[in-house]
Amino acid sequence: MTAPEFPAGALDSGGCPAWISDLGAEDPHQTVHLVRDLRPLDALEVLGAKLKHVRPCTLPAERADEHTSLPRTAFGEADCSSVLLAGRIGDWTFVFDDAGMATEVWDAAGGLESAAVALSRGGGAALSLAHDSAGPSCGLEFAEHGAQVLWTNSDDLDAIAPDLEGRLKDAVDAAGIVEQDYLDPGERDPDAVIRTGCVLAGITSWTSADIRAADPVMLPFG
């Protein structure tokens, strides 16, 4: 299996895209939603956020502590379950959810559907990239036009990878592996799932500087 097809410096030592790990806490339980061709405020509205609480965000240089995300550090004291950070880079809007709370929304029929599926109804393509401190450690959902295309996690990716075809197979191959001391040689690392999502979105070169330059907004959620 090959090394990830990401630019030099784009990944942290664990294999996670550095812009994601820079935003999160040291032991993250978080989700990054990505949607193409949908404005940040529209994406937040789809996720059920109350837009009256939106405010501009200037991300600080460092987290308040190892347990606090960068957006929550910027927000300050917040009596909420999660802090959302949203912005747009090129065709893609990102919503960083620092506690992984905005994962399901009510559909038109009164049932629950995943955030990725709901976002894809308005944007055409959407992904949710999750870090779960309770495990499996990483998860990915990819949806287009209101329908799920791929769902997997770090426990299941090896099992489904041989049956993937086309762009899905290409994305898994491009995600490659990042060798870790706690894994056997050649064993797929958990963040391969997150990298696969970034390859599918074509955002392998995003950096923390890009996030800051996007003039993001933030708000409390839950």
Quick one: pLDDT at residue 1? 62
pLDDT tens-digit map of 124-150 = 899 999 999 888 899 999 999 999 999
Measured between alpha carbons, how far is residue 212 from residues 22, 30, 31, 160, 168 in Å? Answer: 11, 19, 18, 36, 30
With pLDDT > 90 as the criterion, what percentage of the chain qualifies? 90
Region of poorest pLDDT, from 27-31, 40-44, 73-77, 112-116: 73-77
16-20, 103-107, 133-137, 216-220: lowest mean pLDDT where?
133-137
Q: Choose between 1 and 2: higher pLDDT.
A: 2
Strand partners, 87: 94
Domain ranges of the chain: 18-221
Q: What per-residue confidence (pLDDT) applies to 82?
A: 96
The tokens describing 113, both together, are: 């559907």
Partnered with residue 127 across adjacent β-strands are 34, 142
Tell me which of 110 and 118 has the higher pLDDT.
Answer: 118
User: What's phi and psi for 143, nearest 5 deg?
Assistant: -135, 150
Query: What's the rounded Cα separation, in Å, for the pair 121 and 204?
Result: 24
Res. 122: pLDDT tops 90: no
